Structure 1
Amino acid sequence: MDLTQLEVFRAVAEEGSVTAAAERLHRVPSNISTRLRQLEEDLGTPLFSREKLRLHITDAGRTLLDYAIRILALTEEARQRVTHQQPAGIFTLGAIESTAAVRLPQLIARYHQQWPDVELDLSTGPSGDMTDGLFSGRFSAVFIDGPPKHPQLDGVAAFAEEMVLISSLNHPPVPNAASVSGSTIYAFRANCSYRRRFENWFAAEHAAPGKIFEMESYHGILACVSAGAGLAMVPRSMLESMPGRESVAAWPLAEHAGLLDIWLVWRKGYASGNLRAMVAMLEDASQ
């Protein structure tokens, strides 16, 4: 088992096919197939089940993928530290939507000015998708609400955030969750950490929301709430950046329950030059 075989295996696992992996690695498909077969023979176990033109990763393959990601990341880290390589190349970054919209534009602009050879590839989505992308190798690092709870993740606090409850302007004051138990709420999908915080806020007071409508954007949430159709919990920084923010009332959560930190999170053992440069920039900004 060598590094080339691991690179080929990881590409096939992430792309889902030999052809796509070949395009990604700039190799011919026959070479990819040969390397993959040699690796399976070396390990004595199939890493993929084959169904016509489709590949499905096996349990053994999933186990190896976890190690392959860490081994290749450590190899790259060692190469960069030995050669003192400056930040350069593609830096794949993920972020929850509110952080990407409000917090990252200035950070990314400063990063690009300092490290113009880095090509930042930014994607947004719910926190659950961001974490999954981190473990699959899709992202080098992600901005999510933290701190990270998984033992294989590491990170640094990046931005202070406050969640607030929003309602229509004519809604009565909201002193606590019990006062709005049974209310219709608007939120993102179930794998959104902000939605979990909203539901936990109710549960902490033995209350519960009524019907939950899943939305795809903060603008859609704001429109529904301003029309008096229900309530939502959103980051204050996101609300203050949106047109139409005057059409809703914002209620802080009692006892600082809405305060949290957004963290930059990555897999332990992976610390590329690109990532270290961004961590240093965040640490400088906090001083």
Structure 2
Amino acid sequence: MESNLLKVFVAVANKKSISLGAQTLNFTQSNVTNRIKQLEKNLEYLLFHRVPSGVILTKEGEKLYPLAVEIVKKVEEAQLKMQNINFQDTLRIGSGQANVALRLLPFINKLTKKFPNMELEFYVNANPQILEKLLDYKLDIAFTTGFPNHGDLISLKSFDDDLFLIEPKFKNYANCLIGYKKDSSHYKFLVEYEKSNDNNEFKTIFIENYEVMLGCVKNGMGKAYVSKKIIEKYGYMNELNLTKLKNEHKTHLVCRKDYIPLISSYLKEIQLI
């Protein structure tokens, strides 16, 4: 059984559509259809039911799916390891938005100078989504807020995050918490902090732009919890009240224990803000 046939099977199963699976793989629809038929012939089982909305797995397809996912994952892992066997050919980096604003560009600058032939790929999202991809071997390293409590991960490097509760200069402002995303670790901490201080009536605004977020706080729309370096970067140090809370958040550069980048020694020593 060819692993490429299983990769096609997994793509179609994930999308519940032959045409969408083909788009994911950048194949023609006829190519995908033929490969599914070939796999079904090899296994002597029908793997999909055709329905008006696309396809759904048969009972046999449902049994094959988790096995196929694992095989495809292992094959991709082996391919990446062989590509990088003598040098780090590709580095796939995950990051939350706060670290994009603070550290990603200096990080890229240092990597491209040190390893000019290394290809860099990026994925930006909140901690849960980043960790999911890291654990699924779809990222090599990731900047995370706090060290993830997971036995398969190790921290290569930690960075101090000088975080502050920020409020407008004037006293009266809306009882509203302003976060970057619902899954943001900083927003979650602020929610817990407010509830611990018996504030349960707050509203919430999510703004995926730190400069706009700071401007909203300045104008009395609510409060937020962000890094001092972000406040300095956008010139709001004299525009806001800053309060240090009892929290020692750190950013960690993490990777899987069983998939440590070849350049890990360099990453452990890299200096960023």
Corresponding position: 1:213 with 2:229:
no
Aligned with 1:276: secondary structure? coil
Does residue 188 (structure 1) correspond to residue 180 (structure 2)? The answer is yes
Structure 1 residues 150, 62: closer, same or farther in 2, change over 3 A?
A: farther
| Structure 2 match to 1:104 | 104
**Counterpart-to-counterpart distance in 2, 1:221 and 1:133:** 28
Q: Distance in 2 between matches of 1:140 and 1:14?
A: 23
Map of 2:3 onto structure 1: 3
In structure 2, how many angstroms separate the alpha carbons of the residues matched to 1:253 and 1:46?
A: 59
State how far apart, in whole Å, the 2-side matches of 1:6 and 1:85 are. Answer: 29
- Matched with 1:175 is none
Q: TM-score, normalised by structure 2?
A: 0.78
State the 1:66 CA deviation: 4.7
Quote the Cα distance in structure 2 between the aligned partners of 1:267 and 1:48.
Answer: 34
The separation in 1 between residues aligned to 2:12 and 2:256, in whole angstroms, is: 21
Corresponding residue for residue 88 of structure 1: 89
243, 251, 263: which is aligned to 2:235? 243
Q: How far apart, CA to CA, are the structure 2 residues paired with 1:214 and 1:136? A: 28
Q: TM-score w.r.t. structure 1 length?
A: 0.74
Q: How many residue pairs end up in the alignment?
A: 268
Partner of 2:116: 116
Question: Retained in 2: the 8 A contact 1:73–1:270?
Answer: no
Moved more, 234-243 or 126-135: 126-135
2:262 is matched with which residue? Answer: 276
Using the aligned pairs only, state the percent identity: 22
Partner of 1:261: 250
* C-alpha contact (below 8 Å) 2:19/2:29 kept by paired residues: yes
CA contact (8 A) 2:147 2:155 kept: yes
What amino acid is aligned across from residue 249 of structure 2 in structure 1? L
Could you tell me which of 244, 253, 262 is aligned with 1:252? 244
Unaligned ranges ≥5, structure 2: none
C-alpha distance in structure 2 between counterparts of 1:45 and 1:160, whole Å: 55
SS at match of 1:265: strand
RMSD: 3.6
Match of 2:70 in 1: 67
- CA gap 1:97/1:208 in 2 versus in 1, 3 angstroms: same
Letter in 2 for 1:184: C
Map 1:30-69 → 2, pairs under 5 A: 30-39=30-39, 50-52=50-52, 54-55=54-55, 60=63, 63-64=66-67, 66-68=69-71
Separation (CA, whole Å) in 1 of partners of 2:155 and 2:12 = 28
